[in-house]
Amino acid sequence: MDDIITKLDNFAFHDVPVENVSFNTVKTTEFCVKVAFYDQAKKAYSYWNLIFTEIQELNSDSLVLNSESDIEIYGFDYEKKELYKCKIIFLLGSSQPALVVKILCRGLDFIKLPDKNNEKGA
């Protein structure tokens, strides 16, 4: 089995707060989602970047944000055959529509970020 799939399988992608969503379109198309998982033992969040690289196709329905928006991942389905085939369902806040993003990509990574308490200036 693919190592990244094994790594992702260790996390529950349900009601996961989203800190940041970004696109990069220089040289290749990438989509990055920074998420926060709550660590009950540490009573703190750990932050991770979910990075889709060499995107062959990305489709989504309408993104609607307003001052009440609060993005979280409701569900994340993924599989790998020749390409990674992923579907992320984002909830955009109370009484807001959901956003579904479907991605076909060659690369997928899931990287733990440094703890905010250990960053310089924190």
pLDDT tens track for 65-86: 888 889 999 999 999 999 999 9
Judged against a pLDDT cut of 90, whether residue 116 lies above it is answered with no
How many CB atoms sit inside 10 A of residue 107's CB?
A: 14
- Alpha-carbon distance 17 to 27, whole Å? 29
pTM: 0.88
Specify the pLDDT at position 64.
86
- Alpha-carbon distance 57 to 79, whole Å? 15
Cross-strand pairs, 20: 34
- Alpha-carbon distance 107 to 25, whole Å? 15
At 62, the pLDDT band (50, 70, 90 cuts) reads: confident
- Alpha-carbon distance 120 to 122, whole Å? 6
